[in-house]
Amino acid sequence: MSVFKNYIDGQWIDSSEVIENINPSDTKDVIGAYAQATNEQAQSAFDCAKRSFDEWQNKGIQFRADALDKIGSEILERKAELGELLSREEGKTLAEGIGEVTRAGHIFKFYAGEVLRLNGDLVPSVRPQVEVEITREPVGTVGVITPWNFPIAIPAWKIAPALAYGNCVVFKPASQVLGSAWALSEIITRAGLPNGVFNLVMGAGSNVGAAILNDNRVDAVSFTGSVTTGGKVAQACTIRGAKFQLEMGGKNPLVVMDDADIDVAVNCAINGAFFSTGQRCTASSRLIVQAGIYDRFVEAMKNGIEALTVGNPLNTDTQIGPVIDQAQLDKDLEYIDIGIKEGATLLAGGEVLKREADGFFLSPALFVDTTNDMRINQEEIFGPIASVIKVNDFEEALSVSNDTQFGLSAGICTTSLKYAHQFKRRSQAGMVMVNLPTAGVDYHVPFGGTKGSSLGAREQGSYAAEFYTKVKTSYILS
């Protein structure tokens, strides 16, 4: 089997250590072998990124815009092939895989335009004959550390703005999804960037990831992943004064009011809780349902869940693919046990399923008779598992939805303008959805949360400039 190499200083670099990438729908299907960067190789990536910074600035903004546009075009042209690779290695359905690749292409195109739109301010000084100019400059070298659940979109929404605003990049993808990360990187390497501007270093978080966090040549770290790792990023970057942004977990509520359109509510809940196998930071894991609609909602959810087709994501009729790996499957099953021991009723699913090949298939699980203080309602599980919590009125629904350490996304299904507005205003989440699933966002607007879900500047849209640039104020005597 040929080995997919790391990319450092414009060269493909081999390593004596490789890891294999396994298809979670068929554990006998090895997708590829990927070189694991040594610590020395990571160091040389930091070096060359630093060295190539000036050359990158001198290329100018038209060059940058064209390069990003070219990357976006190739991603879009190859969306069917890349989407299939993504589904094969991550387990989301083919439609979701192609959708994610399309999103990645659009993100590069969006930032190709943003390159030309970055501007500053020229303002009068309080002192006579002085002018004040406020400009944004690139931060330097950005370390990009990404999770496995969006193998191409999350790298795209970090790498594209990093390059657009003139930074160099050292990219460390999650070890479970190196196929998509490598394919994206290979496209970037053919966009004409000077050597050293973009580097791919594959390897364990505890090794290559930790090296990125602790090296003074890395000026900023953009991280998406778990709260535990996010804490390590914050600690290391704070100690050495590096800029960082964290996107972490969620325990996202979807409120269903008595006046909701039941079909809309059930669609939002099933999509939000179980699509992409529930492995989305924005997944609706807490369904907070008003007493008057509760019985109808729960019955419709049970029917809807039992009608879902779980299987190989490359089959076109599959709606729910496998969970990512054995460790995540074990974690999901452990939480199903925890829920039962806490006194919740498992109304549907929660069973390991056998399919034609050996994979990590779990039937989507729904708990009822739950309270918000249960561990299953407070801790992020990151699987196809949701709970229903019964409430009496809007105030209780709002209070339960905000009663969490997280604050990424929150939704409400209602036909009342008053409740919709109140929820939008009083929800503590960073993103609020009305009559839409909590997961599923646009690529040209800010993405991010509050409380334990996010720390630092927002990602995506033009708001990304906040993280990927630093502000300079210049005074000129005229």
Q: Which of 247, 268, 380, 413 is catalytic?
A: 247
Which two structure tokens, joined as six digits, stand for 447?
A: 């993405």
Strands 252-256 and 26-35: unpaired
What gap in Å lies between CA 70 and CA 196, rounded to an integer? 19
Which C-beta is closer to ligand NAP: that of 167 or that of 276? 276
Task: Tell me the CA distances in angstroms from 190 to 11, 145, 194, one per residue in order.
Answer: 12, 22, 10
Say whether residue 34 binds ligand NAP (CB under 6 A).
Answer: no
| Residue 186 is among the residues annotated as catalytic for this protein | no
Say whether residue 281 binds ligand NAP (CB under 6 A).
Answer: yes
Task: Tell me the CA distances in angstroms from 361 to 269, 315, 319, 380, one per residue in order.
Answer: 20, 14, 12, 19
Applying CB under 6 A, the span of 29-37, 185-193, 221-229, 393-401 interacting with ligand NAP comes to: 221-229
Which C-beta is closer to ligand NAP: that of 205 or that of 456? 205
Say whether residue 184 binds ligand NAP (CB under 6 A).
Answer: no
Say whether residue 229 binds ligand NAP (CB under 6 A).
Answer: yes
Are 429 and 449 contacting, i.e. CB atoms less than 8 angstroms apart? yes
Applying CB under 6 A, the span of 13-21, 226-234, 299-307, 338-346 interacting with ligand NAP comes to: 226-234
Are 437 and 452 contacting, i.e. CB atoms less than 8 angstroms apart? no
Say whether residue 151 binds ligand NAP (CB under 6 A).
Answer: no
Applying CB under 6 A, the span of 34-42, 76-84, 208-216, 363-371 interacting with ligand NAP comes to: 208-216
Say whether residue 277 binds ligand NAP (CB under 6 A).
Answer: no
Residues 361-380 that bind ligand NAP (CB under 6 A): 380
Member of 82, 145, 162, 266 binding ligand NAP (CB under 6 A): 145
Which C-beta is closer to ligand NAP: that of 8 or that of 115? 8
Q: What is the DSSP secondary structure assignment for residue 459, as one 8-state letter? A: B
Kindly give, in sequence order, each residue whose CB lies less than 8 Å from that of residue 127, ignoring residues fewer than 6 positions away.
Answer: none
Torsion of CA 353, 371, 281, 144, to 10 degrees: -120
Say whether residue 114 binds ligand NAP (CB under 6 A).
Answer: no
- Cα 14 → chain centroid: 29
Say whether residue 213 binds ligand NAP (CB under 6 A).
Answer: yes
Beta bridge partners of 171: 144, 200
Say whether residue 205 binds ligand NAP (CB under 6 A).
Answer: yes
Say whether residue 404 binds ligand NAP (CB under 6 A).
Answer: no
Candidates 95, 122, 41, 11; CA nearest to 276 is 95
Say whether residue 382 binds ligand NAP (CB under 6 A).
Answer: yes
Report the nearest approach of ligand NAP to the CB of residue 294 (Å). 28
Say whether residue 148 binds ligand NAP (CB under 6 A).
Answer: yes
What gap in Å lies between CA 114 and CA 99, rounded to an integer? 22
The helix or strand, by DSSP H or E, that contains position 108, with its residue range, turns out to be helix 94-117
Are 406 and 226 contacting, i.e. CB atoms less than 8 angstroms apart? no
What gap in Å lies between CA 282 and CA 252, rounded to an integer? 6
- Site map 440..469 versus ligand NAP, x via CB under 6 A: -------------x----------------
Report the nearest approach of ligand NAP to the CB of residue 205 (Å). 2
What gap in Å lies between CA 439 and CA 411, rounded to an integer? 9
Report the nearest approach of ligand NAP to the CB of residue 279 (Å). 8
Say whether residue 276 binds ligand NAP (CB under 6 A).
Answer: no
Which C-beta is closer to ligand NAP: that of 209 or that of 364? 209
| Residue 168 is among the residues annotated as catalytic for this protein | no
- Taking each helix axis as running N to C, give the angle between helix 79-90 and helix 178-189, from 0 to 180 degrees, rounded to the nearest 10: 150
Say whether residue 15 binds ligand NAP (CB under 6 A).
Answer: no
Applying CB under 6 A, the span of 14-22, 129-137, 242-250, 311-319 interacting with ligand NAP comes to: 242-250
Report the nearest approach of ligand NAP to the CB of residue 330 (Å). 13
- Cα 127 → chain centroid: 47
Strands 406-407 and 168-172: unpaired
Number of Cβ within a 10 Å radius of residue 451: 16
Which C-beta is closer to ligand NAP: that of 293 or that of 324? 324
Residue ranges that bind ligand NAP, judged by CB under 6 A: 145-150, 172, 174-175, 204-206, 209-210, 213, 224-226, 229, 232, 247-250, 281, 380, 382, 408, 453
Catalytic site residues?
A: 247, 281
